């Protein structure tokens, strides 16, 4: 097990400097930092919808992921949210763009990852082959104050170290895996490392959003599917209603729905939980 301790805190000035000198995105971004909050997503969901905002926290007391699951953060983990004023037309494929952006950043660092629908990044340990959840993503949206745009909050949590978590009966859940397990340079990360990775992720997400009008949705879905954890595997899809479906994973469509081949028919699901049928709850 790799634990990280006594990590220097992130500096707001360093985040701002990185953005002003390295950003490839063109929009103005208001950057905030807090040592602790309940949840960066909650904070931005309740904030005035006036500026595109990045909120970075050193610690969250009530972090949440998909299906209201608790997001348990450890020392040094990266926790941040983007609050953006966007056209409602961008929302259906937004989760795909965020996932592809994260896979792109991981590839730059030579971290092998796959995307688990709808919003998880799964990494593979280079030596043991163990797979675990490296990044969690939570996308929330509501009508903006101006009545024309959507106020979209994109929450990202990146595991750095590892820690023991309460046991779960959810067979679709992966244990956490941290960057310290994938890359020895992250066993004792510097503040600069953490600041730079946050801003690399933020910048890449924003570039993908800004180029959405020129990037075909078919190409986006194809790129996401090239990282799909469950592609061509036999799966169970459990809908929010509790109904179960068994089929073969076929990746996402251009709206971000997951597709399965069920009795020779392609079905699309916009929400639910996927798991391989070989796993037991």
Sheet holding 258-262, edge to edge: 265-269, 258-262, 244-252, 234-238, 273-276
Task: Please count the CA atoms within 13 angstroms of the CA of 221 that sit on its side-chain side.
Answer: 15
- First and final C-alpha spacing in the chain: 25
pLDDT of residue 1: 46
pLDDT bucket at 279, cuts 50 / 70 / 90: low
Would you give the DSSP letter of residue 138? E
Mean pLDDT, residues 160-176? 62
Return d(Cα 95, Cα 217) in angstroms, integer: 12
pLDDT of residue 186: 96
pLDDT of residue 85: 94
pLDDT of residue 168: 43
pLDDT of residue 178: 95
| Total H helices, total E strands in the chain | 6, 12
pLDDT of residue 190: 95
| Residue with the two structure tokens 């990494």 | 123
Q: What is the pLDDT of residues 101-149, one digit of tens each?
A: 999 999 999 999 999 999 899 999 988 998 999 999 999 999 887 878 9
Neighbours of 157 (CB within 10 A): 26
* % of the chain beyond a pLDDT of 70: 89
> Greatest CA separation found in the chain?
56
Show the tokens assigned to 194: 């953490």
pLDDT of residue 148: 87
Domains plus CATH for the chain? 12-222 (3.30.930.10), 230-276 (2.30.30.100)
């Amino acid at each position: 097990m790799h634990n990280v301790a006594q990590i220097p805190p992130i500096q707001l000035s360093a985040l701002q400097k990185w953005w002003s000198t390295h950003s490839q995105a063109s929009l103005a971004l208001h950057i905030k930092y807090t040592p602790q909050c309940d949840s960066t997503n909650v904070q931005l969901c309740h904030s005035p919808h006036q500026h595109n905002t990045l909120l970075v926290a050193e610690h969250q007391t009530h972090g949440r992921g998909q299906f209201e699951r608790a997001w348990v953060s450890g020392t040094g983990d990266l926790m941040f949210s983007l609050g953006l004023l966007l056209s409602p037309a961008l929302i259906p494929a937004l989760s795909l763009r965020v996932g592809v952006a994260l896979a792109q950043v991981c590839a730059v660092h030579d971290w092998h990852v796959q995307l688990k629908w709808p919003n998880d990044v799964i990494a593979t340990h280079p030596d043991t082959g163990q797979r675990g959840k490296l990044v969690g993503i939570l996308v929330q949206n509501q009508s903006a104050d101006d009545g024309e745009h959507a106020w979209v909050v994109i929450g990202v949590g990146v595991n750095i170290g590892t820690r023991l978590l309460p046991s779960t009966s959810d067979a679709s859940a992966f244990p956490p895996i941290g960057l310290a397990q994938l890359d020895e340079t992250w066993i004792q990360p510097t503040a600069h490392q953490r600041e730079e990775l946050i801003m690399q992720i933020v910048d890449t997400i924003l570039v993908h959003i800004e180029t959405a009008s020129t990037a075909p949705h078919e190409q986006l879905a194809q790129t996401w599917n090239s990282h799909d954890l469950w592609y061509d595997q036999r799966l169970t899809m459990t809908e929010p209603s509790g109904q179960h479906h068994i089929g073969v994973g076929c990746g996402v469509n251009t709206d971000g729905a997951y597709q399965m081949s069920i009795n020779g028919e392609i079905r699309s699901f916009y929400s639910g939980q996927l798991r391989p049928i070989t796993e037991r709850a």
